[in-house]
Copies of this chain bind each other. A is one copy, B any other.
Amino acid sequence: MNDFTQLFDPRAIAVVGVSEDLSRPSSQSVCALIKNDYAGAIYPINPKYEAFEGLPCFSSVLAVPGEIDLVVIGVPAKGVLPIVQECASKGVPFVLILSGGFRETGESGIALEKAVLQAAKAGGVRILGPNCLGFVNVHANVFAAFGSMTRPPQLVAGGVSLVTQSGGFGYSIALSCAEQGIGFRHVIATGNESDINSVHLVEALLADALTSSIVVYIEGVHDGRALLEVGRQAMKVGKPIFLWKGGVTEQGAKAAASHTASMTGRYDFYQALFKQTGIVEIQELSDAVDFLQAFAPRKFPNSNGVAVMGVSGGSAIVFADAGERVGLNVVELQESTQTKLSLVVPHMGAVHNPIDLTAGYFSMANQEKLEKALHAVLEDPQVDSLCVNLATTGKSGSLAAAQVLARVSQTTVKPIMIFSSAPKEEFSNAQTVLAQAGIPVLSSPSRVARAMGALLRYRQCQERMRMDEDNAYSSLSFKLEGLDALLAQELLTEVSSKSILSRIGIPFGEDVVLGLQELASPAAPSYPVVVKVISQDIPHKTEVGGVKVGVGSAKELSQAIQDILTSVGQRAPKARVEGLLISPMIQDGFEMIVGVIKDQVFGPVVVVGAGGIYTEVLSDLSCRLAPFGTQTAMEMIAELKCFAILQGARGRQSLDVPALANALVLLSHFAFEHQEHIVEIDINPLFVLPKGVVGADALIVLGGQD
């Protein structure tokens, strides 16, 4: 792992490019360091000046007498390279380049960025940037930054670190959080990421004792596998990552491409990665604020059973609506719970869930009753989290409720969250009590529901990762004898693709292969059958008329053979035809497609979806990064719209979902192990049967190791 100690906690900082124009980035950085009492040495650098803002000013990095941990560069792009070379000579470990004018501006910028990076690498210098706002270590007052990051309001110290590819928008996230009292550790803008990238930084922050949660804004990463590892590590060490992925739509990606000239990568693969790691996706500034608060107590619900209580029926309904959409369940309370509640809830209220305490209930006079009500609900085994709607409850009622909630919260591992829409001046006393007790307060019932949904998904991911580890396939080797040689050498036809996949445990129907000389008197299997051309020159057989389905008799078979040969002869005249394949036609299963794509960013990804025209028209697909275990496979199947069909919708018989899951797991391990050879695998269709699955066509596409 990268050691960024000297970057984040530099003992001495040199800032190149200070100017009497205090609006220049370098000037802003030095002013902020001075103003905020940065404890290390500050060396302003500009050959024009003797002094800058009361500090001695040096002519160059080399002229600085002492050691320097970090050099901040804010001069125009063309002046950056010699300074980096000086840093290399002096043995400076870290350089931060604020200046723009590199990769984002086109070809000459790309060349310049490359030259700077080479000089840095040659001299053992690590680079943050270029084209970035810099970073702030809030705990140590390191302001290696400019623009909004050095302007008021000053962030307060806390446990949240932020890593962002967009300084401007990232800092908008920080400001939104700061407004709600959230404190920060490091705020880091990465810009063009010529050397140090977001994933390196997140990895380092996971090891930073003062960072407890990490917020990330990215447009794209180059190494999806590194992000996968960092995400898994984050789950292991219990530091949640809240990630906003920009450029997730066609238009957003286009905008991103012009922004930092970086590829954004396939969003569905990112989403798969988030699900596989527990990285929490955020899509609005309020998500960052809400989720940071919701996760802060580190209490996670063991099930989706939730109770909602309060003084506003409408708020409970809105909570239930939003809750259902994120998988929460407003559960029935046990009889005994309702009995206990009936002793402390007014007759006109409701002791079933949602629990209606009636208007005006939250008051000093009712504190004892409320405490009993809360205990009763939290002790109900069906309830694993609780939303309390204070809604518009005023000053004294809110405080009364807060005091009770603070006491009760200490006695339970179940998460409790509050909705209040009381104005700040009415709610500040209650807020203080609740904040001390670590009880999140959000500003709408639907936001509470979504935050609880995030807690639940995180908990479920944790559990799934544990189960998949227990069921690891690591003992199973897919390096079957001779497979590597086969994969390395051959162009694969349907026949050889099926043969390989059969060997790893994916069943296919019993095919009959007809050589060219056997076509006149074909062997007759049981009808109906599918007839397909065999040729390594024809990967997409349907497109050249190389497939006939529903062939029902010997006569039809002869006709089908003729038709195929004629059509292929016309539409793919150069293809070398080896023969024909006759396969049983499978009729009592559901047609799906299963495949593997080797992605540039994410490596092998397994995809499953409903077959036929609906696959692409309805985009009924789900994917995960290979390899994975059974729980993950089951989850990806359950995401599909056609899952209801597999389960036996509308009186149909239910199909063998576990067998499908097993096929996905096998395929994921196989594809991962042989990723150096396999570019793509298509099993299309794969029929899910009442018992088992059976593939009807398959193709493995091989590629070089480039």
A244 to B323, CA, bound (A): 16
B251 touches A316 (CB 8 A): no
Bound-state Cα–Cα, A422 to B425, Å: 22
Q: Which residues of B contact A317 (CB under 8 A)?
A: 166, 169, 219, 246-247, 252, 255-256, 259
Is B329 touching A251 in the complex (CB atoms < 8 A)?
yes
Among listed A375-383, A600-608, A641-649, interface-contacting one = A641-649
Copies per complex of this chain: 2
Q: Write out the residue numbers on chain B whose beta carbons fall within 8 Å of the beta carbon of A23.
A: 360
Does chain B have a CB within 8 A of A653? Answer: no
Knowing A352-B258, A360-B23 are in contact, say whether A444-B172 is a contact too (CB < 8 A): yes
**Residues A251 and B323 in contact in the complex (CB < 8 Å), given A285-B443, A286-B286:** yes
Task: State whether A284 and B171 are in contact (beta carbons under 8 Å apart), knowing that A255-B316, A392-B148 are contacts in the complex.
Answer: no
Given contacts A446-B283, A617-B650, contact A175 B423 (CB under 8 A): yes
0/1 per residue, A300-318, Cβ < 8 Å to B? 0000000010011111111
Contact A314 B649 (CB under 8 A): no
Given contacts A169-B314, A316-B255, contact A321 B617 (CB under 8 A): no
Q: Are A168 and B311 in contact (CB under 8 A)?
A: yes
Chain B contacts for A356, CB-based, 8 A = 258-259
Residue A12 is within 8 A (CB to CB) of chain B in the complex: no
Does the CB pair B166–A649 fall under 8 Å? no
Q: Encode A407-430 as 1/0 by CB contact (under 8 A) with B.
A: 000000000000001110110000
Chain B residues lying within 8 Å of A516, measured Cβ to Cβ, are: none
Q: How large is the interface on A (under 10, 10 to 19, 20 to 34, 35 or more residues)?
A: 35 or more
- How many whole Å from A287's CB to the nearest CB in chain B? 10
> Digit string of A45-81 for contact with B (CB within 8 Å is 1, else 0)?
0000000000000000000000000000000000000
A314 contacts B164, CB within 8 Å?
yes
Per-residue B-contact encoding for A244-286, CB less than 8 Å = 1, 0 else: 1011111110111011100000000000000000000001111
List the interface of chain A (C-beta within 8 A of B): 23, 100-101, 104-105, 133, 147-148, 151-153, 164-172, 175-176, 179, 217, 219, 244, 246-252, 254-256, 258-260, 283-286, 308, 311-318, 320-321, 323-325, 329-330, 348, 350, 352, 354, 356, 358-360, 389, 391-394, 421-423, 425-426, 443-447, 613-614, 616-618, 641-642, 644-645, 649-650
9 contacts between A and B (CB under 8 A): A219-B314, A244-B318, A248-B321, A251-B320, A254-B330, A255-B308, A258-B352, A613-B645, A618-B642
* Further contacts, 14 of them, CB under 8 A, given A164-B314, A168-B389: A133-B359, A147-B359, A153-B425, A165-B314, A166-B314, A179-B423, A249-B324, A252-B318, A259-B313, A259-B317, A259-B356, A616-B649, A617-B644, A617-B645
